[in-house]
Structure 1
Amino acid sequence: MKLIRTVDAEGAVLCHDITQIIKGVTKDAVFRKGHVVTKEDIPVLLSVGKDQLYVWEKEEGMLHENDAAEILCEMCKGGNMERTQAKEGKIELKAACDGLLKVNNEALKTVNGLGQMMIATRHGNFPVKQGDKLAGTRIIPLVIEEEKMEAAREAAAKVTGGKPILELKPFVHKKVGIVTTGNEVFYGRIQDTFTPVIEEKLSEFDAEVIDHVTWNDDDRKVTASILEMIEKGADVVVCTGGMSVDPDDKTPLAIKNTGARIVSYGAPVLPGAMFLLAYYEAGDRTVAVMGLPGCVMYAKRTIFDLVLPRVMADDPVTPEDLAALGQGGLCLNCPVCTYPNCGFGKGM
């Protein structure tokens, strides 16, 4: 830090905020710490009584906060993202399209554990809209060692394999088949109130329902319908009903008999414990097949809301992913649902 004349300050970097006080009008920083003084700024600085300024003195091996922020942004920014300009060591990232945000948690913790820099993100594996804020980064001091920023870059790359810490997977168009099961619906004893719920949730994405059939509790018919829908080009098949452990609940068996790879039958989420997820390989396509328990019909938010965005973004779900939902997997059934602005589905 050094003291210079204000009239000579063009291009210099301020080491502290400059406050402007006008009685009854304003009392605020007219320039913030880290601001690079322009020729036009000099009359303003003089008008607030600053004939001299403390400015940053460039040192070998040290980076200004904005220059260091660029490195941090580079480490974070994946495709389909927009960024703000560096200001006071801060850069924000926003979604350039609708999609699913992915966060490399291990890399995030690694960088945040180094000190003097930070990355704050929204929760990963949740849908975002174009324009939504995804993350904010900040360099804490005015200047930081270049060596420390390079160490952060290397540490993050070691965890991510050289990929960005954040990724935004765009949602893609999906053709969907719906198989409704249950004697009570098939024989007209009750109205099908499940399918409209599924269609409403699908409407939040670029989804096209290409087929819908209703069967009684005959697993062979359900198996055949799933395979037929896949043959017609379905990218996703949703089966409703028959997901419990009663003798006539045969949907899990029907899905298994298609030859699909079962990821999990059961998930540590309430509502949604009896959820089934499988993947069927159809040539060069991977079709997601889901068995939805009855709670999806009547509960505001369930396991289906946590998995569907990932399916719509072609983001494979593993058994480990589902197991990790246990922490945060309990919906509190609030009188007024604020999802996704709540803890449901948000583990560590």
Structure 2
Amino acid sequence: MIKVIPVEEAVGTQLAHDVTEIRPGEFKGPAFRKGHTVCGEDVCRLQKLGKNRLYVIELEEDEIHEDEAAALLADALAGRNIRWENAPREGKINLLAAADGLLRVRADTLAAFNMMDEVMCATLHNHTLVREGDLVAATRAIPLVMKRAAIERAAAVARSQGPVVEVLPVRSARGGLVVTGNEVYHGLIQDRFAPVIREKLEKLGGELLSVEYVPDDAHRIARAVEKTLEAGCDLVLLTGGMSVDPDDVTREGIRAAGAVDLCYGSAVLPGAMFLVARIKDVPVLGVPACALHHRVTVLDLVLPRILAGETVGRKELALLGHGGLCRDCARCTYPHCPFGKGS
């Protein structure tokens, strides 16, 4: 139960919540913390802050304060590699990444949680690459005091499908690249794919272990993939021959190497002619030519997910369509832009 008392009569009482002070362009934060015991000299300052009345809380047995509620909610929302402190500020608790990795948000569960009365949680986008210490989510109970049963129901919803937010570690890949195409193989043009792929792997903590050059010959492409696997690579990427011309036989070579679960085509631009498959437990990625001409493509959306242990197949490639249209800005600001943020 909450009682309202005039500020002049509040001397000796403890504040039931933080009192916020706002000085435009200078400061926004608590002038007084929850639990502060009001003394005579505080009264004038509280009045200047527009606080002519203060709240005194006398909790009933079935009620809960916003701070305790926030802790219950944070505990229910947080999964692997998420840390938080039971030190709410204005009833809010921040959830931080406890390790580098890929943020996974169960968006459906998050929506169900936010449909519950008197609670909220806001997160970064699903599949955002984060660093240890990054803020990834925040939660709070909205009223100052609410029924404990309502908070417990919301916490149960948050736990219903597994943690709402977690950070998946991204493994350090030993990548092998197979560059296909008669022009590169015969030295008519210089390969530009290897530096691009190397840079993308190294940004994710991996390395490019081997590079094989082969002509547009399905049998030789298959043999190059096998050789790459024999070299100890745990990720195979192929470039060239991913289009629809008669001599684009890279897909045929990938199948001949024993690939299964092959999916060709993604709902992303640039990157419509992307391919994912696997040979045993090794992911195989077919990278279209757009990776040479665009700083960011479907590869940048899929590669971190693959290295975080997620399965990317037909459904996942289809879901990338929402938010999967690059605006091809003159000055690229990815990942601080909408590209890839819809799924």
Q: Is TM (by shorter chain) over 0.5?
A: yes
C-alpha change, 1:36 and 1:49, in structure 2 (3 Å) is closer
Give the stretch that moved more between structures: 270-279 or 197-206.
197-206
C-alpha change, 1:96 and 1:220, in structure 2 (3 Å) is same
Alignment partner of 1:339 out of 331, 334, 338: 334
Aligned to 2:62: 61
Question: Does the 8 Å contact 2:276/2:313 carry over to 1?
Answer: no
Q: Which amino acid aligns with 1:66?
A: D
Alignment partner of 1:112 out of 103, 111, 114: 114
Aligned to 2:245: 246
SS in 2 for 1:180: strand
* 1:129-168: CA deviation from partner (whole Å, max 9, x where unpaired): 222210111211111211111111222333x1xx211111
Q: Which amino acid aligns with 1:278?
A: A
Aligned to 1:140: 142
Question: Does the 8 Å contact 1:126/1:306 carry over to 2?
Answer: no
Separation of aligned partners in 2, 1:212 and 1:344: 30
Deviation at 1:46, TM superposition (A): 5.5
Question: Does the 8 Å contact 1:97/1:130 carry over to 2?
Answer: yes
Separation of aligned partners in 2, 1:199 and 1:27: 45
Question: Does the 8 Å contact 1:126/1:309 carry over to 2?
Answer: no
Q: Which amino acid aligns with 2:328?
A: N
Alignment of structure 1 residues 218-229 onto 2, 5 Å: 218-229=217-228
Deviation at 1:176, TM superposition (A): 0.7
Separation of aligned partners in 2, 1:279 and 1:231: 15
Deviation at 1:55, TM superposition (A): 1.6
Question: Does the 8 Å contact 1:69/1:137 carry over to 2?
Answer: yes
Aligned to 1:73: 74
Question: Does the 8 Å contact 2:109/2:164 carry over to 1?
Answer: yes
Deviation at 1:249, TM superposition (A): 0.5
Aligned to 1:312: 307
SS in 1 for 2:76: helix
Question: Does the 8 Å contact 2:77/2:159 carry over to 1?
Answer: no
Aligned to 2:274: 275
* 1:196-228: CA deviation from partner (whole Å, max 9, x where unpaired): 111111121111222111111111111112122
Separation of aligned partners in 2, 1:65 and 1:73: 12
Deviation at 1:287, TM superposition (A): 0.8
Separation of aligned partners in 2, 1:228 and 1:317: 24
Q: Which amino acid aligns with 1:105?
A: A
Q: TM-score, normalised by structure 1?
A: 0.88
| Number of residue-to-residue matches in the alignment | 332
Question: Which ranges in structure 1 are unaligned for 5 or more consecutive residues?
Answer: none
Residue 214 of structure 1 pairs with residue 213 of structure 2: yes
Separation of aligned partners in 1, 2:303 and 2:59: 51
Aligned to 1:45: 42
Question: Does the 8 Å contact 1:176/1:207 carry over to 2?
Answer: yes
SS in 2 for 1:345: coil
C-alpha change, 1:27 and 1:112, in structure 2 (3 Å) is closer
C-alpha change, 1:57 and 1:177, in structure 2 (3 Å) is same
Deviation at 1:18, TM superposition (A): 6.8
Deviation at 1:275, TM superposition (A): 0.3
Separation of aligned partners in 2, 1:44 and 1:202: 61
Separation of aligned partners in 1, 2:211 and 2:21: 66
Aligned to 1:294: 289
C-alpha change, 1:224 and 1:36, in structure 2 (3 Å) is same
Aligned to 2:95: 93
C-alpha change, 1:45 and 1:157, in structure 2 (3 Å) is same
C-alpha change, 1:43 and 1:320, in structure 2 (3 Å) is farther
Deviation at 1:7, TM superposition (A): 5.3
C-alpha change, 1:275 and 1:322, in structure 2 (3 Å) is same
C-alpha change, 1:296 and 1:37, in structure 2 (3 Å) is same
Aligned to 1:122: 124
Question: Does the 8 Å contact 2:105/2:125 carry over to 1?
Answer: yes
Question: Which ranges in structure 2 are unaligned for 5 or more consecutive residues?
Answer: none
Question: Does the 8 Å contact 1:6/1:45 carry over to 2?
Answer: no
Residue 230 of structure 1 pairs with residue 224 of structure 2: no
Structural RMSD (CA): 2.5
Q: TM-score, normalised by structure 2?
A: 0.89
